[in-house]
């Protein structure tokens, strides 16, 4: 393998999650912002982060409310995912334009996106100024999931949702399952399944 070094280093950590973050300010106005810089930072207490440019219209809404909801989109929401990242609340109503509906959160004032299969409610604990972006560190205070992906034992099947990722400017569907956590050390590795399952459960 032969490699070259770029003259200027950059963020080449791909793919990353592509999420729709919903916010609401104290006046009651809500908005959706598309975020790719997000992820898990702690499991106990459960914590996540989003990084947002200061010039985004949702930035002052976040600073004011110190709350947000991370909504994980499925493949059906890719157009809305992109639209909410390239249009501003100052010019359009993203909810109406994309046919999205505000859902009621359990803990925070920010709405969920009803059409999203997973909604993660977050309360900001710290804001870190970093440069082009500020990082909003937050504790996860509630999670709502689409009940059609929950089996009779109460387990949530994330692999059936059809989540998407963002890779160097492109939205991507997730590929075939290659293994499960710890499979490399099992005495009898599980057989790889080449066919991707997307069976919907009855609500």
Q: pLDDT band for position 29 (50/70/90)?
A: very high
**201 falls within a domain:** no
**194 falls within a domain:** no
Distance CA 75, CA 33 (A): 17
**199 falls within a domain:** no
The encoded tokens of residue 92 equal: 């359009």
CATH code of the domain containing 80: 2.30.110.10
Return all residues near 158 (Cβ < 8 A) that are at least 6 apart: 118, 149
**4 falls within a domain:** no
Distance CA 103, CA 80 (A): 16
Could you read off the pLDDT of 66-85 as tens digits, one per residue? 999 999 999 999 999 999 99
**40 falls within a domain:** yes
Could you read off the pLDDT of 87-112 as tens digits, one per residue? 999 899 999 999 999 999 999 999 99
The encoded tokens of residue 125 equal: 């604990």
pTM of the predicted model, to two decimals?
A: 0.89
Distance CA 165, CA 172 (A): 5
**139 falls within a domain:** yes
Distance CA 43, CA 96 (A): 35
């Amino acid at each position: 393998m032969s490699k070259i070094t770029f003259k200027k280093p950059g963020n080449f950590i791909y793919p990353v999650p592509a999420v729709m973050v919903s916010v609401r300010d104290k006046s009651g106005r809500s908005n959706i912002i598309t975020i790719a810089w997000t992820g898990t930072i702690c499991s106990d207490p459960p914590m996540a982060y989003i990084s947002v440019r200061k010039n985004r219209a949702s930035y002052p809404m976040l600073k004011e409310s110190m709350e947000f909801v991370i909504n994980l989109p499925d493949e059906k929401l890719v157009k809305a995912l992109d639209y909410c990242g390239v249009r501003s609340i100052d010019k359009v109503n993203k909810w109406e334009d994309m046919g999205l509906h505000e859902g009621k959160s359990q803990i925070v004032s920010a709405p969920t996106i009803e059409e999203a299969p997973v909604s993660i409610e977050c309360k900001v604990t710290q804001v870190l100024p970093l440069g082009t972006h500020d990082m909003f560190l937050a504790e996860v205070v509630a999670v709502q999931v689409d009940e059609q992906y929950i089996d009779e034992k109460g387990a949530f099947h994330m692999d059936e949702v059809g989540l998407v990722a963002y890779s160097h400017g492109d939205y991507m569907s997730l590929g075939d399952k290659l293994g499960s956590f710890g499979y490399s050390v099992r005495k009898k590795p599980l057989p790889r399944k080449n066919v991707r399952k997307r069976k919907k459960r009855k609500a």
